[in-house]
Amino acid sequence: MLIHLGYAMLERFLSKSDGYLDLN
C-alpha cells in the first residue's frame, strides 16, 4: 500500500530523528 511506501521514505528521511516513531 501507499502507506508502506510513505513509511519507508519517512524512515529514511527522518532516520536521523526519532520523530518518525511518533508518526507510527
- DSSP string computed for 1-24: -HHHHHHHHHHHHSTTSTHHHHH-
% of residues, the chain, pLDDT over 70: 54
Q: Cα–Cα distance between 16 and 14 in angstroms, integer?
A: 5
Mean per-residue pLDDT, 1-17: 75
What pTM value is reported for the model? 0.35
Rounded CA separation 19/1 (Å)? 22
To 5 degrees, how large is the angle CA 23–CA 8–CA 1?
90
Which grid coordinates are listed for 1? 500500500
Band of residue 15 on the pLDDT scale cut at 50, 70, 90: low
The neighbour count for residue 13, using CB atoms within 10 Å, is: 11
Residue 10 confidence (pLDDT): 79
